[in-house]
Structure 1
Amino acid sequence: MAFPELSYTTDPLRETKADALVLALPPLDHDAGALDQWPGLAPALNGVGFSGALGATVRAYAPEATSLPLIVVGTGPAPDTAALREAVGAALRTTTGFDTVAVEAPAVDDDGWRAVAEGAVLGAYRFDGYKSVAAAARASHVVIRGERPPAASALARAQAVGDAAALVKDLVHTPAEWLGPQDVADAAREALAELPVDVVVLDEKQLAADGYGGILGVGQGSDRPPRLVRLDYAPADAERHVAIVGKGITFDTGGLSLKPPAGMVGMKYDMAGAATVLAVVRAAAQLRLPVRVSGWLCLADNMPSGRATRPGDVLRILGGTTVEVLNTDAEGRLVLADGLVAASRTHPDVIIDVATLTGAISVALGSRHTGVMGSEEAVAEYLDAAESADELAWPLPLPAHMEEELDSPIADLVNAKIGDPTGGSLFAGLFLQRFVGRVSDDADAPRIPWVHLDIAGSGSTKSATGATDKGPTAATVRSLLAFVEGDAR
């Protein structure tokens, strides 16, 4: 895992012991005072055509101001926290060859510090990977400069955000040949080894004994058996319990409903939901948040073989609900069903599931918005958290008129609509809703508040943008952390 260590200084940036400096600035005609402490920089920027447009980066030579390499990135004319994060992230992502980089946004007040710090840790992340010749290194240490030092907790939080995003990206980057269900379970134990988090791993024998038919059914075609990993961070002062369930398909061939070759490329990322759950639980424990956070990593390899689930087979989900499997490539909802039932049995205050679930979500929302469904109040709370974290999310309905499409002639439910591509994401949400339990053991009690996050579009990007490289984005990590913290309440 490679993301930078953060520190903070109130010393003038030119006096900082760094290898290079990054300044985040608006267009020069919007805040000329931002350069009062940088003699000669304004004409130098004019000379290289610095526009101040969001993310526009230039190298400037201003010997009167500093002898260090100077990178200037535009924030746009009226930068909000999202613009600051994107600008600083873009600058750190594209600046290589310097071990320590100092960063300042002189036109920004102290409220923008968090966005600057998060942009720095997100942008400087790198996956070392498997190249014979290593790519040019990004900064391993970032010094943020401001007028007043932030609280130690603010620095720790920014570091935890970078740590969480890096964990997700590292796991999703790892080729499936080295990251099967047991490997993810081992990674979870390692990531949480020194934190107050209980980790329980259910193997295939225990899954069978306990009745986890969804996870077993999806994973039975693979030589690498499935796992369920339960995480529990439960501080003594917790006044709220948030349960998060993650889809962890370590590779998705589609099973016997085999994907075409092009559709199979990149399917190592189908465990991004489980990686996100692990990262958020770890961040909560690192920050010692006064909230109980439990995680459920539903892990299986969806492979075709003589043992694999066939279209038309019936699986019995934990708790007894039966599902006729019409499409083995609609497997994520089957493992999540087991996880939702298991999480419901702990009677949390809210359940959130996160999954690279449907291709239909990309058709509906594109590649940057996360699709959000579920209970009205819980969805509203999540959307507020996403807004506070500057992550794009969009609410979608769970139409009652589609409920009848879930009916099976031989089982309680079907897992897919065959030959009908309309409303695929909504169908999946309605399917999952059936497995959200009650707030108590009373059959007439209301369902536990629930949020479904479909990150099939937002979880990966085909081109670098802002602080994010091409590949996994760690979408929803910041929003979920804000939700757990209660920033939005």
Structure 2
Amino acid sequence: MTDLNLSPKNPARAHADALVLAVAGTDDGARILTAEPMPAKAVAALDTLLPALGVTGKADEVVRVPAGEDLAATVVVLTGVGKVTDRPGLEALRRAAGAATRSLAGTEHAVLALPAENAAQVGAVAEGALMGAYRFDHYKTSDPAPVARLELATPAAKTKEAQAALARAVAVGDGVRATRDLINASPRHLYPETFAEAARAAAAGTDVTVTVLDEQELVAGGYGGILAVGMGSARPPRLVKVDYAPARAAAHYALVGKGITFDSGGLSLKPAKSMETMKDDMAGAATVLHTVLAAAALALPVRVTGWLALAENMPGGGAQRPSDVITMLDGTTVEVLNTDAEGRLVLADALVAAREERPDAIVDIATLTGAQVAALGTRIGAVMGTEDLRGAVVTAAEAVGEEFWPMPLPEELRPSLKSSIADIANMGDRFGGMLVAGLFLQEFVGDTPWAHLDVAGPAYNEKAPYGYTSKGGTGMGLRTLLGLLEAAAAR
């Protein structure tokens, strides 16, 4: 795991394996940007090299060059922040730092000398660097380790504000790393029981308490949705409650995460190609778990209760069937028309459990619908729900550098969920399927303020890494949820 510290030292004198500098694109060509004073001769020499090297300063551009005699480091890593007119924005700094540290695998010590003159910039660079340094090598027999030690050179290094920004960045970096680890884990190793064990292990020694309901307790409690989805698997479901309850909490937020540790589609079997990434269908639960732990690590004065609805959706002999009718925790009966619409069933039970504790707000996060990917692609999530809370999610996302697009819950789509034999069906109109799923979930939150985050696309990156985003699990949504909690604490 990568260690990161702030340093007030002149980065030009740092005896490191690599010195990371930012390059911006301007109307007059690419130029070096730094926060600390650097030898003018060294900067001028690098600026002169940029055109010959084809360096433009665009985002995700990373180029290595020899450090030269005026710098103590072995090499200089030039990382692009995009085109700027003044100073780069926070997300540009996050992305540039992440792109640089991704390229530093196998390096022992690197110094970051990106523009980081205030606490906000320090936090952005630190977050990006830690997220970019992530590598998932649990199953590799040989692979370069992530950069071991990072120093962020900044004139603000000794200020309380910068130290607080670093502490927050570390909490975020740890949370995203741990979330990605769970998403990337093989479903042979991560299933409801082991996921629950992982939650207990992660919370050990913190102010977070973990309660696990096994299959017998789920039966006794009437959790019909979670049980029905898990019936086809030899590995039974779990419901995990993760609770951070500080004294004199300013508010109580419930976070609910979909935790399908593998989704075959059940008897409504997915095509083989569509199953290849279905280990990621528990990304919502992983995100909720580590958001709660990050809130505790930062000692936020907000109570946060996480609900992890865990099941494996398999087509075994005991699996639920299309046309089955199941009874949810609140007594609602659901006609199952498609067993591949299982996420909303486990979420519904967990939403009812969350609602019964009377929190101030409920937010669920799930890799819920292919329609989300069709509508918004693989980098932007969708948010539906109560207008004010939906807006608060969008605001939090913008502040932390994630993207959630507000979506409606059209009343005219609700009749498509009608069933002739039960209170509601688990499937409705195919067109607008993302919104129909949101309407289904809305049935189980009562009058509690609620937001539903669909991250089916951005939770897992199947393409090349970019910025601070690795291939595989991304941890997308954790920063938004944490930002939402921080905003609640500030109020």
Instruction: Quickly name the TM-score band, shorter chain normalised.
Output: over 0.9
In the alignment, which residue of structure 2 is the partner of 1:111? 120
Pairing partner for 2:18 from 14, 17, 20: 20
Q: What is the 5 A alignment of 1:177-192?
A: 177-192=188-203
Q: After superposition, give the CA deviation of every residue in 1:175-223 in whole Å (9 maximum; x if it has no partner).
A: 0011110000000000000101111000001001010000000001110
Please, what TM-score do these two structures have when normalized by structure 2?
0.93
Q: After superposition, give the CA deviation of every residue in 1:144-185 in whole Å (9 maximum; x if it has no partner).
A: 111112433222110001100011110011100111100000
The yes-or-no answer on 1:367 pairing with 2:395 is: no
In the alignment, which residue of structure 2 is the partner of 1:470? 471
The yes-or-no answer on 1:454 pairing with 2:463 is: no
CA distance in 2 between partners of 1:32 and 1:100 (Å): 21
Q: Report the secondary structure of 1:243's partner residue.
A: strand
CA distance in 2 between partners of 1:32 and 1:211 (Å): 62
The yes-or-no answer on 1:290 pairing with 2:296 is: no
CA distance in 2 between partners of 1:261 and 1:32 (Å): 48
Moved over 6 A (4+): 30-33
Q: Report the secondary structure of 1:194's partner residue.
A: coil
Q: After superposition, give the CA deviation of every residue in 1:81-101 in whole Å (9 maximum; x if it has no partner).
A: 111111110011112221221
In the alignment, which residue of structure 1 is the partner of 2:483? 482
**How far apart are residue 109 of structure 1 and its match?**
5.1
**Given that residues 249 and 299 in structure 1 are in contact (C-alpha distance below 8 angstroms), is that contact kept between their aligned partners in structure 2?**
yes
CA distance in 2 between partners of 1:321 and 1:282 (Å): 32
Please, what TM-score do these two structures have when normalized by structure 1?
0.94
- Structure 1 residues 202 and 111: alpha-carbon distance in aligned structure 2, compared to 1, 3 A threshold: closer
In the alignment, which residue of structure 2 is the partner of 1:57? 62
Runs of at least 5 residues in structure 1 that lack an aligned partner in the other structure: 438-446
The yes-or-no answer on 1:72 pairing with 2:78 is: yes
Q: Report the secondary structure of 1:246's partner residue.
A: strand
The yes-or-no answer on 1:142 pairing with 2:140 is: no
Q: Report the secondary structure of 1:58's partner residue.
A: strand
Runs of at least 5 residues in structure 2 that lack an aligned partner in the other structure: none
**How far apart are residue 470 of structure 1 and its match?**
1.3
**Given that residues 244 and 294 in structure 1 are in contact (C-alpha distance below 8 angstroms), is that contact kept between their aligned partners in structure 2?**
yes
CA distance in 1 between partners of 2:227 and 2:200 (Å): 22
Cα RMSD after superposing both structures: 1.7
**Given that residues 25 and 107 in structure 1 are in contact (C-alpha distance below 8 angstroms), is that contact kept between their aligned partners in structure 2?**
no
Pairing partner for 1:352 from 328, 352, 363: 363
Identity %: 49
Aligned length: 475
In the alignment, which residue of structure 1 is the partner of 2:3? 5
CA distance in 1 between partners of 2:24 and 2:57 (Å): 5
The yes-or-no answer on 1:172 pairing with 2:183 is: yes
Q: Report the secondary structure of 1:299's partner residue.
A: strand
In the alignment, which residue of structure 2 is the partner of 1:303? 314
CA distance in 1 between partners of 2:45 and 2:430 (Å): 57
Q: After superposition, give the CA deviation of every residue in 1:257-296 in whole Å (9 maximum; x if it has no partner).
A: 0011111111111000000000100101111111000000
**How far apart are residue 432 of structure 1 and its match?**
0.1
Q: For residue 46 of structure 1, what is the amino acid of its counterpart?
A: T
The yes-or-no answer on 1:273 pairing with 2:279 is: no
Q: What is the 5 A alignment of 1:395-474?
A: 395-417=406-428, 420-437=429-446, 447-463=447-463, 464-474=465-475
Q: After superposition, give the CA deviation of every residue in 1:46-84 in whole Å (9 maximum; x if it has no partner).
A: 322322222211112242331422111111232211111
Q: For residue 144 of structure 1, what is the amino acid of its counterpart?
A: L
Q: Report the secondary structure of 2:413's partner residue.
A: helix
Q: For residue 70 of structure 1, what is the amino acid of its counterpart?
A: V
Q: Report the secondary structure of 2:236's partner residue.
A: coil
